[in-house]
Amino acid sequence: MTQMKIRNLDDLRKLRESSRDLSSARSGGETMIIVGMGTCGIAAGARDVLSEVMAELARRNIDNVAVQTTGCIGMCQDEPLLDVIRGGQRVTYGRVKPEDVPTIIAEHVVNGRVVEKLAIGRAD
């Protein structure tokens, strides 16, 4: 996804449609990745993180992982946020950079090992 400057309502609609296309392309599976796409997340670089998630899953031919987006959850200071839900456990990664995504997918999504240096929260 390329970065676009939102200048009017039509730009915002186009962005919404392109985000839907990205997230709806990945549904189903036992593992889910959720990227915070509130205005705080977008301002912090969540679009690039979401694009890298989709690209990394495609590079690895992983098609059984659902990818969703969500709005602000009140942890704006830690954006971009990325959650991985795997095996009933939810781990939240904070201040995620696009270059962190391949590590999160390789370690956590594929091998089930939490990337401790980026994890900021867990829920079982």
Q: Is the dihedral of CA 112, 116, 119, 124 positive or negative?
A: positive
Mind listing the pLDDT tens digit for each residue in 67-97?
Answer: 999 999 889 999 999 999 999 999 999 999 9
Q: What is the pLDDT of residue 27?
A: 67
Q: What is the pLDDT of residue 11?
A: 86
Residue 23 has pLDDT above 60, yes or no: no
Mean pLDDT of 26-34: 82
Q: How far is CA 75 from CA 20, 58, 81, 114, in A?
A: 23, 29, 8, 20
Is the model's pTM score more than 0.95? Answer: no
Mind listing the pLDDT tens digit for each residue in 7-20?
Answer: 899 988 887 777 66
